[in-house]
Structure 1
């Protein structure tokens, strides 16, 4: 028996060696494949878990953004009312003064300016905080998940104090920035509606034209030597003398302090916390000069002024008398401009109302701002994106 086996092995030695090598190779290949599959599964599970964590962190950042905007709105409303104070003029009117017409003219400018400033400042606040909180959110995620290394090429050191310093820059929009915006809006409103008589009947369509004219001047791509031609006359506002970089929304200068102010303060910066704050502001300013930011801001303004006109349009009742067949029975009546003044004057309380503020919720849930927030968070929470 053993002799037969030795003879068989000797006769089929090459075949047996080949078969053994083949079986051994298949075994090793199977083990290697199994290890690779297990490794890939573990990697996929790790990546999925990281994505879920980042998604959860992003959603928390968005909730923080929404609550922060709503918490600042009352302060913004108070600042607008203080800078465009009309209640004292209304009280004087009750005493039937001799300069009653002059007071009504002042109320006209204040009323329109209040509503327009409310839309601009509220939209700017929502978009600015969206940028700031998603930049912070992205860096905090990196701080915790990528061994404290980020876009700065060093440890982020994004302390609570640095976050507070960075977010406190929104005070510019509530202070000096708002004062500059109020000055600009009052100047443009005076140009557009200042010559309209108080008793003149104004239709809703004409009112939309007024708002469109005001927006076109304020949102022009450059404010230097700006002139608008209306009805063959040139409207030139002295408050539009300040220039601005083409392609960047002029509203940006009301949202953050001037870049020169930050750089002039750089010599006084001595702590890591202050340096980090300056870098965060630089990141924010770069983002605000991007095309995406300006498109999002424009969309918010469009939605805001549409909401304003919807609110005012409720005071225009449809005509009930006989109308030509070509006209709709829903054609709105005209109202004297004097009756529109208190309507516009009170819109600040609707647009900048306390929570629940439906306008703010509508802004923050727009697809364009949600996509912008997601892209922004992705850019600042992904090391590969930051390296680019």
Structure 2
């Protein structure tokens, strides 16, 4: 029996060996495949968690931008309101009207001692109403000279009467320019502050995210996910976590727009308003179509008449100070103690400092064509809210339309049955809306601007592009291995993820790996347009 078994095994040893080999190879192959599947599942789960964390951090960043704009806007509003004192001009006109009524013996002493109805009254008794309750003409109600009064004399002498009338006309012209300039300047300031805040907080948000990635890869392997909270200040040894003071100084540079830049914007807007609205008389009837066209002309003079001119627009001077003024901004904002120029160290003396890199990248973003494109869309939303909604509905009683016209086309088509109104009625609404633009709660103008999809795309591109600026200081030995799809991720559904070269392959973040700002912006815009078409 034993010898027979031996003879059988000897005769069939080759088939048996092949069989065992096949079984062993099958077992090894099965274990290899199962291992690869398990690794792929773990990697997919890790990538999904990383993308979700990145998306949540990005969304939280955008909410922080909104609250930051609402916190900073009152500072610029107070400065603009203090410079363009529309209410003071209105009060002077009211005083002149009261004095005229007193000279003519009209009205009771108690009425003369109190202020007449204000231009900004909401109850329909404003000075800008077409007729008073007793049918008085608007020019007489406002204290303006009517054509019949132009040749009448006065007991005090014709020269004094003419001087008084000229003063009233000058005040009304000042009121016209002031009310229009103030409302338009606030829209420009709000749009610029919104974009500047998005750039600043998304650049810092990108640094915070990379800090979490570096911490996870270098010393926090026991942590399975990237933290949503910023613990940069808890560990000064992190590659990006010891820049709290740099971040504070960087955010302080919004001081320039709030205290200096708005004035330059105001002067530019005021010059355009004087040129466009200067020939418009306070007694003229203004149609909705005409006011829309005049507003468009002001915008073309401020922003540029063509797309090429708008792309070449220089907004950097309004948002950031020149290099020689950067230390001045830090001093004025209280970030650094005042010191003699010889003993102070300029932040522009070195291009390698984190603050210098942040400011340079911010300047590049502001001077990029996408910035001008998004700014135009934000201004479209702001002016649409003011002209197409507030003025159209409350002054001309036009139903609300959802279309946002292009800058090159008239903002509102002429409506046959809409009657023109006196210009002071429009000025009264502009005076009220200036307070809504700067201090409205909720701020409808900010909400309209934040509904622009390209603003979110712009913020996503800022957040997800140009990673090499933060990674490049690291040495190759300490470089962080991060999956490509984690780096260039689909943050908001507007950016196309980078193509993975091989399943499971990881790459060192290096110059050229991440998309440039322009190419990423192009992808974001293309995806946005596809979403609109769909």
Normalising by the residue count of structure 1, what TM-score does the alignment of the two structures yield? 0.83
* 1:313 counterpart = 2:392: yes
| Counterpart in the other structure of 1:29 | 29
Unaligned runs of 5+ in 1: 223-243, 320-326
* 1:203 counterpart = 2:287: yes
1: CA distance between counterparts of 2:259 and 2:53? 37
Tell me the alpha carbon deviations over residues 66-97 of structure 1, each in whole angstroms, 9 at most, x when there is no partner.
11111122222212101212222222112218
1:40 to 1:91, Cα distance in 2 relative to 1, 3 A: same
* 1:132 counterpart = 2:132: no
1:14 to 1:221, Cα distance in 2 relative to 1, 3 A: farther
Q: CA offset at residue 363 of structure 1?
A: 1.6
| Counterpart in the other structure of 1:284 | 362
Query: Given that residues 89 and 103 in structure 1 are in contact (C-alpha distance below 8 angstroms), is that contact kept between their aligned partners in structure 2?
Result: yes
2: CA distance between counterparts of 1:4 and 1:169? 96
Alignment of 1:209-228 (within 5 A): 209-220=293-304
2: CA distance between counterparts of 1:219 and 1:328? 24
Q: Extract structure 1 runs of 4+ deviating beyond 6 A.
A: 263-267, 270-274, 327-330
Alignment of 1:84-103 (within 5 A): 84-96=84-96, 98=164, 99-103=167-171
CA RMSD after TM alignment: 3.2
* Candidates 247, 254, 268, aligned match of 1:163: 247
Q: CA offset at residue 20 of structure 1?
A: 1.5
Alignment of 1:185-196 (within 5 A): 185-196=269-280
1: CA distance between counterparts of 2:351 and 2:249? 9
Q: CA offset at residue 245 of structure 1?
A: 9.3
Tell me the alpha carbon deviations over residues 33-57 of structure 1, each in whole angstroms, 9 at most, x when there is no partner.
1222222221112111211221221
2: CA distance between counterparts of 1:271 and 1:19? 76
2: CA distance between counterparts of 1:318 and 1:303? 20
* Candidates 358, 365, 371, aligned match of 2:451: 365
Query: Given that residues 180 and 254 in structure 1 are in contact (C-alpha distance below 8 angstroms), is that contact kept between their aligned partners in structure 2?
Result: yes
Query: Given that residues 74 and 353 in structure 1 are in contact (C-alpha distance below 8 angstroms), is that contact kept between their aligned partners in structure 2?
Result: yes
2: CA distance between counterparts of 1:158 and 1:213? 49
The 10-residue stretch of structure 1 (172-181 or 213-222) with the greater mean CA deviation from structure 2:
213-222
* 1:121 counterpart = 2:189: yes
The 10-residue stretch of structure 1 (126-135 or 270-279) with the greater mean CA deviation from structure 2:
270-279
Q: CA offset at residue 249 of structure 1?
A: 2.8
**SS at 1:175 equivalent:** helix
| Counterpart in the other structure of 2:430 | 344
Q: CA offset at residue 161 of structure 1?
A: 1.6
Query: Given that residues 132 and 284 in structure 1 are in contact (C-alpha distance below 8 angstroms), is that contact kept between their aligned partners in structure 2?
Result: yes
1:250 to 1:346, Cα distance in 2 relative to 1, 3 A: farther
**SS at 1:144 equivalent:** helix
| Counterpart in the other structure of 2:267 | 183
Highest relative contact order (Cα 8 Å, sep 6+), 1 or 2?
A: 1
Alignment of 1:328-343 (within 5 A): 331-343=417-429
* 1:355 counterpart = 2:433: no
The 10-residue stretch of structure 1 (286-295 or 250-259) with the greater mean CA deviation from structure 2:
250-259
The 10-residue stretch of structure 1 (372-381 or 332-341) with the greater mean CA deviation from structure 2:
372-381
* Candidates 237, 245, 258, aligned match of 1:174: 258
Structure with the largest fraction of helix: 1
Q: CA offset at residue 198 of structure 1?
A: 1.3
The 10-residue stretch of structure 1 (25-34 or 139-148) with the greater mean CA deviation from structure 2:
139-148
* 1:141 counterpart = 2:209: yes
Determine which structure has more spread, i.e. the larger CA radius of gyration.
2
Q: CA offset at residue 217 of structure 1?
A: 0.8
1:328 to 1:31, Cα distance in 2 relative to 1, 3 A: closer
Q: CA offset at residue 306 of structure 1?
A: 0.6
The 10-residue stretch of structure 1 (25-34 or 350-359) with the greater mean CA deviation from structure 2:
350-359
Q: CA offset at residue 354 of structure 1?
A: 3.6
Unaligned runs of 5+ in 2: 100-163, 218-237, 329-340, 399-412, 468-486, 488-508, 517-534
Q: CA offset at residue 290 of structure 1?
A: 2.1
1:276 to 1:386, Cα distance in 2 relative to 1, 3 A: farther
Q: CA offset at residue 248 of structure 1?
A: 3.2
Query: Given that residues 124 and 255 in structure 1 are in contact (C-alpha distance below 8 angstroms), is that contact kept between their aligned partners in structure 2?
Result: yes
Q: CA offset at residue 111 of structure 1?
A: 0.8
